[in-house]
Structure 1
Amino acid sequence: MAATVASLSSSLLFSKPSLTLRPFRTLPRIITSSLPSSSSSPPQFNISFAPPKPKPKPSEPDPFSDSDPESGGQLIIPWIVRGEDGNLKLQMHPPARLLHATANSDTATTTTKVTKKNKINKNKSSEVVPKSNYSKAARRFYNDNFKDPPQRLSKVLAAAGVASRRSSEELIFGGKVTVNGSVCNTPQTRVDPAKDIIYVNGNRLPKKQPPKVYLALNKPKGYICSSGDKESKSVLSLFDDYLKILDKRNSGVPKPRLFTVGRLDVATTGLIIVTNDGDFAQQISHPSANLSKEYIAVIDGDVNKRHLIAINDGTVIEGVHCTPDSVELLPRQPDIPRPRLRIVVHEGRKHEVRELVKNAGLEIHSLKRVRIGGFRLPSDLGIGKHIELKQSHLKALGWKS
């Protein structure tokens, strides 16, 4: 028994043990510096997250940007135009003058290359195709804002310089006017000079109408405000040179038939408006326009307070009692020894200022009109000279085009 135990122990000492290799896993390293010292409490980790990136704020639309988000990327072009006050301003739509010129221009033509499979006629010139028509919205915008509607036949004849409105009606009643081959005896017939064929005394009326003309004249003494006759001088004769220059400037267009807006008597000088626009003349001369007119009256003799009171009380003219808006005695000037009165009226009846002064017992040496509405006669405009009225001047006169 002892021998058996000794043999087993010796075999265990000198025999090689069997080894089993297992894969070694690397465990993650945990830093426990932030852990609490007590092992009984659960571990707590100090974890913080970065704040989210702010969303970009929508930028305000730039008027000079190439696209508009609301219009789906439509191209917007800013326009720099000069306003009626003479200052430059920025607007997002084309000027009305440009739209009018574009709509009136002839349909442009574009050339396209002829492409064929066999490339025949290489030396032949490219075909010319007309430009596509404007859209319905563009045509509607033009018709509503720029295209002139059909006008009365008598007004068209007067605007073309054939005769005055009344004389044109006499020509129509006399059967001397034909429209599209038929005699027209009704002055109220609506016609379009650009489309209708109009003949007067066998002469065809031009399709193009003369341009609208607005002039301010410093009327001299001794001229009448009508066409006149051989023995009298008309203010319209002072525009002969101007009409010649206008004819050269607008070749192929008939000359405008000028007339005065209202009248000044032959002895009165100063501001008178001359035009060929009947609507303009009717609007500013109608009593509803309520335009005041300022006169400077040079008086023979002395003027005292009772004269001013008498003028301010007014007088009866053609059965209507007329009173001035204001009467003022101006200070004496060294070069003008006679007293001067500033009289403002708005009714504009015939010889109204002269009758007011005469009723007060005074005698007028000279009378000059210096203002109509908000437009004053330029101080540097010589006698017998004229200037072309600008849009601001027309607004000062009360014109609403």
Structure 2
Amino acid sequence: MRINKYIASCGIASRRKAEEIILQKRVKVNGKVVEELSFNIDENNDTVEIDGVQIGLDEKEVYIVLNKPEGYITTVKDQFDRPSVLDLVGDIKERIYPIGRLDYETSGLLILTNDGDLTYKLTHPKHEVDKTYMAIVKGIPTIDEMKKFEEGLYIEDYKTAPAKIRIVKKDEEKNYAICEIKIHEGRNRQVRKMCRAIEHPVLRLRRVAMGKITLKETKVGEYRHLTKEEVEYLKGLR
């Protein structure tokens, strides 16, 4: 088995991320550093380590939905020593990682798993999985502004893919609106940047769904395991 597939099968990271780990010289096979992405291993006899920790295929696959609070990062390490979402799932013995990211100020639905292949599938650009957000924005977007939002906006050096936006509630006196926003891209802080581009900056942002997966009754800071049907749904996405 190729080394990057093995790392993904162990639930450590997606195949693409596994390649980065290999190139960073963090992987050892039988005590020797591996740098070749084409390296093949015998999964039954070879010993594989990442950062000095042995990995293996014996872990069961775990799929959970976390209701992320604001003020948590979704990366493993942080230079400012801020709390991580992994701190909220510390009772799960398997090594799990978030599928995609939510920025520090954003709350809501985050899927975590040790299924590297599913992580790769759901984060690859060719798989257009809708992500639904509820955003409190400054001001009240006009029909023309929302049309521009839906057609795609030029942000920095790229144009966003078509998206959806609708006003759920508005308060003209307090000058804000609550909008439901759906995108299928996953660029860094994209919803915030898109709202800023139409001059309605986000005041608060919460993700409420990824495809058909929702939080259900999961409270902020808590998680639930995905049902068998939900896992099959995610694996069946095209």
Q: TM-score, normalised by structure 2?
A: 0.81
* Partner residue, 2:73: 224
Task: Give, in whole Å, the separation in 2 of the partners of 1:161 and 1:355.
Answer: 32
Q: Is this contact kept in 2: 1:159–1:210, CA < 8 A? A: no
Q: Which residue does the alignment assign to 2:29?
A: 177
Percent identity over paired residues:
28
Distance 1:277 1:161 in 2: 5
- Does residue 286 of the first structure (1) align with residue 127 of the second (2)? no
**AA in 2 matched with 1:329:** I
Assess if the C-alpha contact under 8 Å between 1:177 and 1:183 holds in 2: yes
Q: Do 1:310 and 1:359's aligned partners in 2 also have CA atoms closer than 8 Å? A: no
Residue 393 of structure 1 is matched in structure 2 by: 230
CA distance in 2, matches of 1:206, 1:322: 38
In structure 2, the CA distance between the partners of 1:356 and 1:331, relative to structure 1 (3 Å rule), is same
Q: Which AA in structure 2 matches 1:272?
A: L
Alignment of 1:17-96 (within 5 A): none
Is there any run of 5+ residues in structure 1 with no aligned partner, and where?
1-150, 244-255
Contact persistence 1:296–1:369 (CA under 8 A): yes
Given that 2:74 and 2:101 are in contact with CA atoms closer than 8 Å, whether structure 1 keeps it comes out as yes
- Are the equivalent residues in 2 in contact too, given 1:152–1:190 (CA < 8 A)? yes
Match of 1:167 among 21, 25, 38: 21
- Matched with 1:78 is none
Change (3 A) 1:205 1:349: closer
The CA deviation at 1:349 is: 2.2
**In structure 1, what is the equivalent of residue 47 of structure 2?**
198
Q: CA RMSD in A?
A: 3.1
Aligned to 2:98: 260
Q: Which has the higher contact order (CA 8 A, sep 6+)?
A: 2
Deviations 1:11-34 (A, max 9, x none): xxxxxxxxxxxxxxxxxxxxxxxx
Task: Say if 1:372 and 1:208 are closer, same or farther in 2 by CA, change over 3 A.
Answer: closer
Partner in structure 2 of residue 41 of structure 1? none
Aligned equivalent of 2:158: 320
Instruction: Report if aligned partners of 1:280, 1:399 keep a CA contact under 8 Å in 2.
Output: no
SS of match in other structure, 1:274: strand
In the TM superposition, what are the counterparts of 1:351-362 in structure 2 within 5 Å? Answer: 351-362=189-200
More strand by share: 2
Matching residue within 142, 145, 153 for 2:3 = 153
In the alignment, which of 211, 231, 234 is matched to residue 60 of structure 2? 211
Closer, same or farther in 2 for the Cα pair 1:302/1:154, shift >3 Å? closer
1:318-377 residue CA offsets vs partner (Å, 9 max, x unmatched)? 4322144321111359xx994211111112222221122111111211011111112222
Deviation at 1:159, TM superposition (A): 5.0
> Normalised by the size of structure 1, how large is the TM-score?
0.50
Amino acid at match of 1:388: H
Matches within 5 A, 1:4-23: none
Report the alpha carbon displacement of residue 268 of structure 1 after superposing the two structures with TM: 1.0
Distance in 2 (alpha carbons) for counterparts of 1:261 and 1:233: 18
Give the Å deviation of 1:289. Answer: 1.4
Q: Name the CA distance, whole Å, in 1 between partners of 2:75 and 2:201.
A: 27
Aligned-residue offset at 1:208: 5.1
**Gap change, CA 1:332 and 1:399, over 3 Å in 2:** same
User: Which residue of the other structure, out of 38, 52, 56, is the alignment partner of 1:188?
Assistant: 38
2:138 to 300, 306, 309: 300
Map of 1:39 onto structure 2:
none
- Other structure's SS at 1:355 match: helix
Match of 1:342 among 167, 172, 180: 180
Q: Any gaps of 5 or more consecutive residues in structure 2?
A: none
